[in-house]
C-alpha cells in the first residue's frame, strides 16, 4: 500500500487516497481532537539505547546488516540498558506529546530531541553523527509506520516523503544530498520498499489545485517548522493526470527560516530580558549576548554544545558577578544547569500559537524562578521577527522574478500560516492579489498522497 508521508520539522502526518480524495490517517486515534498528527520529537531514557531500540523494531530483511553496521553502538547501548534495568527505568522510547511530557517532568534526565529534520543538512558531521541522525529518523519513521499500519490494518511499503527545497545546510546541494540520503536510508531501513520525494510547496499546491476550475498561476508559500519554501506553479484541473509536472513548476525558492525561528526570536525578545539580556555590567557596558542566543539555538548543534559546555558555565558564573543585576544572570545559569533550552522555546511556541486567537499571552517561567512570568503580544511577535518576515518577503519576490510573471493567487500553508501576524504581512507584500490560507498542516500531507497515487498506481 502507498502513502504520502509528511516528515515535518514540527509534526508528522500520513495520508492515503480513498475514492479519489486524500484521507489523513489519525495516527493517534479518532478520539483525540489533534490525533491526525504526531509531534516530531523523541525521548530516550539514555542516548545510548536508541540504536538498541531500533534494532528490535527492524524487519527481518534489515536486521542482520544493521547489527553488523552498528556493532560498536549496540555494545555501548547494552551497558546503558543494564544500568536502566538496575535502576528500574523503562528502556522504551517515547514520541510526540508523550516525549515532550517526559522531558518537561525532568529536563536533566534522559535524552530529548525536537525537530531532527533541522539537522539533516548540517555541515561538518562525522560519520558516527550522521549514523546517529539516521537512527533517530528511523526510530520516528518506524513509529509512524507502525501507527499507520495499525490504523489501516495493512502493510505499507510505498511512500512519497515531503522535502523542503533546501534543507538547513550551509553547502547547498551537498547539504540537500546528505539530508535526502539520511531520509532514504531511514525509510528503507524500517521497511519502505519504494521511496520517492516531492517538494513540500509543490505537494501543497497539488491539494489546492483540486479546488480550481480554470488554469491559474499560484504562488505557494509554505512556512514549515524548519524551512520556508515558495513555488510558482501553473495549475489546472486538467493537469492532475500528468505524471511529470516539471513544465508547470515555473519557479521555486527556499530559505532556512521558518516556524522554529519565530519561536526562538519571540523567546529572545519576550523571555530573555527577564534573564538579563539587554541589562548592564557593573562597568556600565552592555551585557554580552552570545550566551542568550546559544541557549535558545535548539536547531543548531554547535551553538547548543557551546552553551552547555563547562567552559561556558564558568563564564556565566563570572558574568553574574560582573552584572549590575546578579540575580537575573543567575536565571540564565539555571537554564544551563537544568537544561531548559527546549522549555524556553516550547513556552514561546505555545505563546505564538495562543497569539493566533488572542492579542496577548502570559508565559509562565516558574521552572526558572518562582512567580516569574512575562507578557507578550502580537506586536512583540511581529517586532521580534521583522528580519524573518523580511526574508520570507524576499523569498516571494525571488520566486516571482524567476517565474517572470505575477501570481493570480497566493496560497499559504504550514503551521505558522495560522498566525494573523504572518498572513497580514504577506498580504501587504502583494496587495490586490487574493491570499488564501490553506489547511495549516494537512495541505502538504494530502498533496503527497495525491502524488503517491499518481506515480505508484
Say which CATH class 215-257+386-437 falls into: alpha beta
Instruction: Say if residues 223 and 200 touch (Cβ distance below 8 Å).
Output: no
360-364/216-223 β-pairing: unpaired
Buried b (16+ CB within 10 A) or exposed e, 29-64: eeeeeeebbbbbbbbbbbbbbbbbbbbebbeeebee
- Assess whether the region 2-199 and the region 215-257+386-437 belong to the same CATH fold: yes
Q: What is the pLDDT of residues 134-169, one digit of tens each?
A: 999 999 999 999 999 999 999 999 999 999 888 765
Burial readout 230-263 (b: 16 or more C-beta within 10 A, e: otherwise): bbbbbbeeebeeeeebeebbbbbbbbbbbbbbbb
The CATH architecture assigned to 2-199 reads 2-Layer Sandwich (3.30)
Residue 80 phi/psi, 5-degree rounding, is -65, -40
CA distance 191 to 142: 8
CA distance 296 to 307: 9
**Domain-wise residue ranges, the chain:** 2-199, 215-257+386-437, 260-384
Mean pLDDT for back-to-back runs of 10 residues, the chain (457 residues): 92 93 88 73 95 95 93 94 94 93 86 86 86 96 96 96 77 85 97 94 85 91 82 88 83 82 94 96 95 91 90 96 95 94 93 93 93 95 93 93 95 82 90 84 90 91
Q: Is 224 exposed, middle or buried (0-12, 13-18, 19+ CB in 10 A)?
A: buried
* CB of 355 closer than 8 Å to CB of 184: no
Query: How far is the first Cα of the chain from the last one, in angstroms, to the nearest whole number?
Result: 10
Amino acid at each position: 500500500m502507498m502513502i504520502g508521508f509528511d516528515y515535518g520539522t514540527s509534526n508528522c502526518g500520513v495520508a492515503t487516497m480513498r475514492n479519489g480524495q486524500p484521507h489523513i490517517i489519525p495516527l493517534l486515534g479518532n478520539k483525540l481532537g489533534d490525533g491526525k498528527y504526531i509531534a516530531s520529537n523523541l525521548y530516550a531514557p539514555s542516548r545510548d539505547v536508541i540504536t538498541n531500540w531500533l534494532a528490535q523494531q527492524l524487519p527481518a530483511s534489515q536486521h542482520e546488516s544493521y547489527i553488523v553496521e552498528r556493532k560498536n553502538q549496540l555494545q555501548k547501548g547494552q551497558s546503558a540498558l543494564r544500568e536502566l534495568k538496575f535502576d528500574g527505568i523503562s528502556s522504551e522510547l517515547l514520541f510526540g506529546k508523550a516525549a515532550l511530557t517526559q522531558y518537561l517532568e525532568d529536563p536533566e534526565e534522559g535524552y530529548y530531541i525536537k525537530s531532527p529534520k533541522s539537522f539533516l543538512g548540517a555541515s561538518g558531521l562525522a560519520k558516527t553523527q550522521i549514523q546517529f541522525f539516521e537512527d533517530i529518523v528511523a526510530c520516528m519513521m518506524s513509529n509512524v509506520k507502525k501507527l499507520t499500519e495499525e490504523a489501516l490494518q495493512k502493510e505499507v511499503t510505498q511512500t512519497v516523503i515531503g522535502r523542503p527545497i533546501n534543507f538547513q545546510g550551509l553547502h547547498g546541494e551537498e547539504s540537500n544530498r546528505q539530508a535526502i540520503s539520511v531520509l532514504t536510508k531511514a525509510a528503507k531501513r524500517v521497511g519502505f520498499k519504494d521511496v520517492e520525494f516531492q517538494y513540500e510547496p509543490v505537494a501543497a499546491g497539488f491539494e489546492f489545485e483540486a479546488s480550481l476550475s480554470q488554469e491559474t498561476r499560484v504562488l505557494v508559500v509554505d512556512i514549515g517548522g524548519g524551512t520556508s519554501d515558495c513555488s510558482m506553479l501553473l495549475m489546472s484541473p486538467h493537469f492532475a493526470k500528468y505524471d511529470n509536472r516539471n513544465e508547470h513548476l515555473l519557479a521555486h525558492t527556499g530559505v532556512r527560516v521558518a516556524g522554529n525561528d519565530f519561536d526562538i526570536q519571540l523567546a529572545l525578545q519576550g523571555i530573555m530580558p527577564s534573564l538579563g539580556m539587554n541589562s548592564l555590567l557593573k562597568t556600565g557596558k552592555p551585557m554580552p549576548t552570545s550566551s542568550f542566543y546559544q541557549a535558545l539555538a535548539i536547531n543548531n548543534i554547535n551553538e547548543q554544545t557551546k552553551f552547555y559546555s563547562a567552559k561556558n558555565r564558568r563564564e556565566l558564573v563570572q558574568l553574574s558577578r560582573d552584572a549590575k543585576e546578579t540575580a537575573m544572570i543567575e536565571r540564565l545559569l539555571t537554564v544551563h544547569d537544568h537544561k531548559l533550552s527546549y522549555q524556553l522555546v516550547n513556552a514561546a511556541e505555545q505563546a505564538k500559537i495562543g497569539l493566533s486567537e488572542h492579542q496577548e499571552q502570559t508565559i509562565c517561567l516558574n521552572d526558572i524562578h518562582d512567580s516569574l512570568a512575562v507578557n507578550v503580544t502580537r506586536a512583540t511577535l511581529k517586532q521580534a521577527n521583522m528580519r524573518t518576515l523580511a526574508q520570507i518577503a524576499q523569498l516571494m519576490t525571488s520566486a516571482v522574478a524567476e517565474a517572470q510573471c505575477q501570481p493570480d493567487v497566493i496560497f499559504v500553508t504550514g503551521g505558522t500560516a495560522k498566525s494573523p501576524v504572518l498572513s497580514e504581512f504577506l498580504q501587504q507584500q502583494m496587495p490586490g492579489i487574493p491570499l488564501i490560507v490553506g489547511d495549516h498542516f494537512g495541505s502538504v500531507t494530502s498533496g503527497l498522497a495525491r502524488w503517491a497515487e499518481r506515480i505508484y498506481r
